[in-house]
Amino acid sequence: IDELLAEGVKGKRVFVRADLNVPLAEGTITDDGRIRAVQPTIAKLAEAGARVIVASHLGRPKGAGVEPAFSLAPAATRLGELLGADVAFATDTVGSSAKETVAALADGQVAVIENLRFNAGETSKDDAERGAFADQLAELADIYVGDGFGAVHRKHASVFDLPARLPQAAGYLIATEVGVLKKLTAEVERPYVVVLGGAKVSDKLAVIDELLGKADRILIGGGMAYTFLYAKGYEVGISLLQKDQVEVVKEYMKRAEETGVELVLPVDVLVSAEFPDLKGKTPADFTVVDADKIPADKEGLDIGPKTRELYASKIADAKTVFWNGPVGVFEHPDYAGGTTAVAQALLDSSAFTVVGGGDSAAAVRILGFDENAFGHISTGGGASLEYLEGKTLPGLAALEG
Ligand code: 3PG
């Protein structure tokens, strides 16, 4: 992008593909980290006199027109507040509102267009359909800047097809994210400890596969831990369990033993007969049990106190830590203790710490931690995992090509 700025962008229509896919609760943004992360690129372009068109997806709408619950309007408002400037908003993506909004932009002004996924062409698996949508998007702009790191693993029209149709560059956020993650794929300082949480083990299998040859310790938490505990032979009650992944998990546990990678599982958990009330946050009714004593009618919702201590001790001497995924249902205060303990352990260590993933990044901020105290907080969940897996990411390949 610096080259682009040096060439001059005054009066040029610059399409910035951002990832403004922020968590919302009844129309209110609960964590604006992704908007703040792309702000430097937008601000720099606007300062240089570009007419900036910001585009993103939000959530997973059906792709058949506007769905108010997935509108980018709250994100546009927040971006305006952060920039301290009026940000125009188009109520469609390539229709008359977008065309008029872009045509009305003065040099240095910013507009946000509506959720790209309101058009089926954005996410289509059909190259021609995606290409046709990218053609329409290309008409809005003169230059493309890719800065939506959280979406670079998606082969979507605005991520993959559009940059092939316009002069293009990567923004500051993508440059920073790739710079940090590249370090983790090269020779890392050891011990290298990885903490993996989140709901589904199936989302993490490929990265575990890769990390078994790279990390010194892998600590498992969150919903995915129960598939591991089950694979170990424990009963897990009504906890999240992906039975179809048990065999793969067993084979990973065996490989970890063979390769000397320490695979650490919860030794105690917080269990309850019901999922907590995330809206009203009424106190939860839970008990602490050892991981091999989960009652048949209960589900595990957070790692227990012994596990928190154990994980903290496994993180204490680390020189590099990568953390992806909350280890409990942190959205409820009674089940936030495990995720808080992991975040604190990262801060207490002298390691270079990378927090990856929309959820864990939002968690550290929502739980009140100073994000600047971590080495790097990635805006990409799936994207950072796929980068570490060594996959070619369509949105990065498109910017290199
Ligand atoms: C994310 O939240 O990981 C990115 O914004 C990508 O969203 P997606 O998983 O819906 O493609």
User: Could you report the per-residue pLDDT of 333-347, keeping only the tens digit for each?
Assistant: 999 999 999 999 999
Task: Identify whether the C-beta of residue 300 lies closer than 8 Å to the C-beta of residue 270.
Answer: yes
> How distant, in Å, are the alpha carbons of 5, 14, 18, 136 from that of 80?
22, 17, 15, 26
358 pocket-lining for ligand 1 (C-beta < 6 Å): yes
With a 6 Å cutoff on the Cβ, whether 151 touches ligand 1 is yes
pLDDT at res. 19: 97
**Residue 233 is encoded by which pair of tokens?**
């032979």
**How many A from CA of 21 to the centre of ligand 1?**
7
Residue 184 backbone phi and psi in degrees, to 5? -70, -20
The answer, yes or no, to whether any atom of ligand 1 lies below 6 A from the CB of 356, is no
| pLDDT value for 124 | 97
| 362 — pLDDT class (breaks 50, 70, 90) | confident
Q: What is the pLDDT of residues 36-73, one digit of tens each?
A: 999 999 999 999 999 999 999 999 999 999 999 999 99
Ligand 1 atom nearest the C-alpha of 381 is 3
Pairing of strands 299-303, 287-290: unpaired
User: What's the pLDDT score for residue 220?
Assistant: 97
Those residues with Cβ within 8 angstroms of residue 292's Cβ, 6 or more apart along the chain or in another chain: 229, 234, 235
Ligand 1 centroid–CA 379 distance in Å is: 10
Atom of ligand 1 lying closest to residue 21 CA: 5
363-390: average pLDDT: 90
pLDDT band per the 50, 70, 90 thresholds, residue 381: confident
The protein residue whose alpha carbon is closest to atom 6 in ligand 1 is 151
Per residue in 64-81, pLDDT tens?
A: 999 999 999 999 999 999
- Helix axis angle for 305-316 and 337-348, nearest 10°, is 20
Q: Which residues are annotated as a binding site for substrate?
A: 19-21, 34, 57-60, 117, 154
Catalytic residue numbers read 34, 200, 358, 382
Does ligand 1 come within 6 angstroms of the Cβ of 381? yes
**Backbone phi, then psi, for 249, in 5-degree steps?**
-60, -40
Count, in order, helices (H) and strands (E) of the chain: 15, 17
| Bridging pattern class, strands 110-113 and 87-90 | parallel
Distance from the alpha carbon of residue 76 to the mean position of ligand 1, in angstroms: 18
pLDDT in tens, 282-313: 999 999 999 999 999 999 999 999 999 999 99
Decide: 155 in ligand 1 pocket, CB within 6 A: no
Query: What is the model's pLDDT at position 400?
Result: 83
Cα–Cα distance, 154 to 160 (Å, whole number): 8
CA distances from 46 to 15, 21, 57, 99 (A): 12, 22, 21, 19
Distance 34 CA to ligand 1 centre (A): 12
- Look up the ipTM and state it: 0.97
Q: What is the dihedral of CA 274, 280, 285, 288, to 10 degrees?
A: 90
Q: For ligand 1, say whether the CB of 19 is within 6 Å of any of its atoms.
A: yes
pLDDT (0 to 100) of residue 401:
60
Q: Name the residue with the closest Cα to ligand 1, atom 1.
A: 150
Q: What would the pLDDT profile of 260-283 be if each residue is shown by its tens digit?
A: 999 999 999 999 999 999 888 899
With 0-12 / 13-18 / 19 or more C-beta atoms within 10 angstroms meaning exposed / middle / buried, residue 102 is: buried
CA atoms within 13 A on the CB side of 312: 17
Q: What pLDDT was estimated at residue 234? A: 98
Cα(378) to centroid(ligand 1), Å: 13
Ligand 1 pocket test target in 17, 19, 122, 204 with most atoms within 8 Å of CB: 19
pLDDT band for position 205 (50/70/90)? confident
The mean pLDDT value of the chain amounts to 95
The pair of structure tokens assigned to 302 is 């957070």
How much helix, strand and coil, in percent to the nearest 5, is found in the chain? Answer: 45, 15, 40
Residue 25 is predicted with a pLDDT of 86
Q: How far apart are CA 222 and CA 255, in angstroms?
A: 22
Measured from the CA of 358, which atom of ligand 1 is nearest? 2
* Percentage of residues in the chain having pLDDT higher than 90: 87
Listed residue (289, 313, 310) closest to 299, CA to CA: 289
For 55, 102, 183, the CA distances from 37, given in Å and listed in that order, are: 14, 23, 20
Task: State if residue 154 touches ligand 1 by the CB under 6 angstroms criterion.
Answer: yes
Closest atom of ligand 1 to CA, residue 357: 3
